Amino acid sequence: LQSNGCDPGFAEETTSSEEQAMIKTAGNSYLASPNLPDFCGCSPGWSSAFYGAECFDSEVHSYLKNLGKQKSSESQNIDAKKVELEQLLMMETKNYRKTIKFYQKLLQRERRSKGPETKSMLPKLRGQLQEMKSKVQFLELVKKYQMMYAEQWGVESYVLPTVIHNGKVDTMDMAPMDESSLLLYYNTEKHQCNNQNGVRVLQAGTPLGLMAYLYSRNAFLEGYVQQFLYTFRYFCTQEEFLQFLLDRISSTLSSASLDPSTSLTKICNRSFYILQAWIEDCYSVDFATNTDLLGTLKEFISSKVASLNGYGERLLSLLEDAAARKSGSADLCSGVDKCKEESEEGRKTLHSLCKKLSEDVSRKNFYWKLSKGMGPIAQCQRERLHTGSAVLPKPCCSSFTEDSSVSLARADEVGPVLLTECSAQQLSWQLTLLQQEVFNKCHPVHFLNSRALGVKDKCVAVPKAVSAETVSLKVCNLFLSKCIQDQYLLQLLKNADSISTWVAAEIVTCHTAKRQVSLLSKFLLIAKCCYEQRNFATAMQILAGLENLIVRQLPAWKILPAKVAEIMEELKAVEVFLKSDSLCLMEGDRFKTLPTIPSAHVLAMHVQQLETGGFTMTNGAHKWTKLRNIAKVVSQVHAFQENPYTYAPDFKLQSYLRQRITRFKDADISALAADNCANFHQIPAEKHSRKIQDTLRRMKATFQ
Q: Total domain count for the chain?
A: 3
Reported as a single tens digit per residue, the pLDDT across 207-239 is: 999 999 999 988 998 899 999 999 999 999 999
Specify the pTM: 0.77
> How many Å apart are CA 337 and CA 335, to the nearest integer?
6
**Last residue of a domain, which of 290, 325, 360?**
325
Looking at residue 288, its pLDDT comes to 93
> How many Å apart are CA 434 and CA 649, to the nearest integer?
9
Q: What confidence category does residue 552 fall into, taking pLDDT thresholds of 50, 70 and 90? A: very high
Mean pLDDT of 552-568: 93
Looking at residue 355, its pLDDT comes to 52
Q: In what order do the strands lie in the sheet with 183-188?
A: 183-188, 199-205, 622-623
Any domain includes 477: no
Query: In this predicted model, which residue has the larger pLDDT, 1 or 361?
Result: 361
Mean pLDDT of 503-513: 92
Any domain includes 100: yes
Residues 87 and 214 in one domain: no
Strand partners, 188: 199
Range of the domain at 440: 418-458+482-685
Residues 431 and 306 in one domain: no
**What percent of the chain has pLDDT above 70?**
70
Cβ proximity of 704 and 538 under 8 Å: no
Looking at residue 681, its pLDDT comes to 65
Any domain includes 386: no
Looking at residue 393, its pLDDT comes to 32
Residues 113 and 162 in one domain: no
Closest CA to 557 of 439, 681, 660, 436: 681
Looking at residue 256, its pLDDT comes to 64
Q: Tell me how many degrees the CA angle 520-524-530 measures, rounded to the nearest 5.
A: 145
How many DSSP H helices and E strands does the chain contain?
A: 29, 5
Distances (CA, A) of 281 to 46, 164, 183, 205, 404: 10, 24, 26, 23, 36
**Last residue of a domain, which of 279, 301, 325?**
325
Residue 16 has pLDDT above 50, yes or no: no
Distances (CA, A) of 647 to 286, 344, 389, 537, 698: 32, 20, 7, 17, 66
Residues 126 and 221 in one domain: no
Residue 244 has pLDDT above 90, yes or no: yes
> How many Å apart are CA 293 and CA 562, to the nearest integer?
59
Closest CA to 348 of 388, 383, 408: 388
CATH number assigned to the domain comprising residue 573: 1.10.840.10
Looking at residue 430, its pLDDT comes to 97
Looking at residue 187, its pLDDT comes to 79
Query: In this predicted model, which residue has the larger pLDDT, 114 or 61?
Result: 61
Residue 242 has pLDDT above 90, yes or no: yes
Looking at residue 177, its pLDDT comes to 64
Looking at residue 13, its pLDDT comes to 40
Residues 644 and 510 in one domain: yes
Residues 256 and 118 in one domain: no
Reported as a single tens digit per residue, the pLDDT across 356-394 is: 554 444 333 344 444 333 343 333 333 333 333 232 233
Looking at residue 683, its pLDDT comes to 56
Any domain includes 404: no
Residues 609 and 503 in one domain: yes
SS3 content of the chain, % helix, strand, coil (to 5): 65, 5, 35
Any domain includes 537: yes
Reported as a single tens digit per residue, the pLDDT across 672-701 is: 988 877 777 665 555 556 677 778 778 777
Residues 532 and 427 in one domain: yes
- Report helix angle 562-580 to 600-611, nearest 10: 30
Any domain includes 253: yes
Looking at residue 448, its pLDDT comes to 97
Looking at residue 507, its pLDDT comes to 94
Residue 200 has pLDDT above 90, yes or no: no
Residues 652 and 610 in one domain: yes
Q: What confidence category does residue 2 fall into, taking pLDDT thresholds of 50, 70 and 90? A: very low
Residue 643 has pLDDT above 80, yes or no: yes
Residues 583 and 518 in one domain: yes
Residue 465 has pLDDT above 70, yes or no: no
Phi, psi of 43 (to 5 degrees): -70, 120
Residue 186 has pLDDT above 90, yes or no: no
Looking at residue 257, its pLDDT comes to 62
Looking at residue 343, its pLDDT comes to 41
Residues 510 and 631 in one domain: yes
**Last residue of a domain, which of 309, 325, 341?**
325
Mean pLDDT of 31-49: 60
Reported as a single tens digit per residue, the pLDDT across 264-285 is: 889 998 999 999 999 999 999 9
Reported as a single tens digit per residue, the pLDDT across 107-138 is: 777 777 666 667 778 888 888 888 888 888 78
Instruction: Spell 136-170 as b/e; 16+ CB within 10 A means b.
Output: beebbbbbbbbbbbbbbbbbebebbbbbbebbeee
Any domain includes 176: no
Mean pLDDT of 648-667: 94
CATH number assigned to the domain comprising residue 312: 1.20.870.10
Mean pLDDT in the chain?
Answer: 77
Residues 632 and 657 in one domain: yes
Mean pLDDT of 509-523: 92
Query: In this predicted model, which residue has the larger pLDDT, 333 or 591?
Result: 591
Cβ proximity of 357 and 349 under 8 Å: no
> How many Å apart are CA 97 and CA 354, to the nearest integer?
9
Mean pLDDT of 607-621: 94
Reported as a single tens digit per residue, the pLDDT across 333-360 is: 333 333 334 344 444 444 555 555 544 4
Any domain includes 563: yes
* 328 HSE (CA, 13 A, CB side): 8
For the chain, the straight-line distance linking the first and the last C-alpha, in angstroms and rounded, comes to 98
